[in-house]
Amino acid sequence: MRALPNVLSSLRIVLSFLLLAISSPEAFSVLYVLCGISDIADGYIARKFEIETNLGAKLDSLGDFVFWAVVLVIFFFLSDIYVSNTVIFFVAVVALVRLFNFIITKAKFRQWGMLHTLGNKAAGFALYVAILLSIAFAHIPSPLVVGVFSVALASAAEETGILLTSSVYKVNQKSIFLP
């Protein structure tokens, strides 16, 4: 039981790369949902059974990074879904802030990682649902783009604020307003 969260995070990494080999929207959706379930389950199980570890937090962050990197590559370069220049701009802005956060984390705390803030979880969930809706409808509705971008940029900016003002790296910090 102690290794289960790490197994789930590792499984998400493997399933993420398998997404690259899938051509059927149905099969992609199934693997995509399994990746989402593994993301929710790894942290829930670790917290519920008090088996959180530094390795687990790093595997979870790596799993998140690999999953979203693969999904964005597929979405932008390998799918038939039309992606406007506005969407590309929004994704680039958020990606640059996230990259800045990685650099801060490495420079200031001597490690790689992403904080597990409530905002980052909300942004991940919003993007996760937006991708599913885009697959289902074969396009990206503009209000959805604006909503997801707003949540993602706010959470990335909050993470920047936390990283710049913290003296200790706390991967599970809930918010800049909460410890």
Q: Find out whether 132 and 75 touch, Cβ atoms under 8 Å.
A: no
Higher-pLDDT residue of 24, 100? 100
Residue 168 tokens, joined:
């200790």
Average pLDDT over residues 6-18: 96
Please check the confidence at residue 19 and state whether its pLDDT lies above 90: yes
- Quote the mean pLDDT of the chain: 90
Predicted confidence (pLDDT) per residue in 159-176, tens digit: 999 999 999 999 889 999
pLDDT exceeding 70 applies to what percent of the chain? 98
pLDDT for 110 equals 93
pLDDT for 172 equals 86
pLDDT for 81 equals 67
Domain ranges within the chain, ordered by starting residue: 1-62, 80-179
Residue with tokens 């949540």: 151
pLDDT for 134 equals 82
Predicted confidence (pLDDT) per residue in 112-140, tens digit: 888 989 999 999 899 889 888 888 887 77
Q: Cα separation of 121 and 123, whole Å?
A: 5
pTM over 0.85, yes/no: no
Amino acid letter, residue 27: A
pLDDT for 76 equals 79
Whose CA is closest to 148, among 132, 130, 136?
130
Predicted confidence (pLDDT) per residue in 73-107, tens digit: 887 787 766 677 888 888 899 999 999 999 999 99
Average pLDDT over residues 4-12: 95
Q: Cα separation of 24 and 15, whole Å?
A: 15
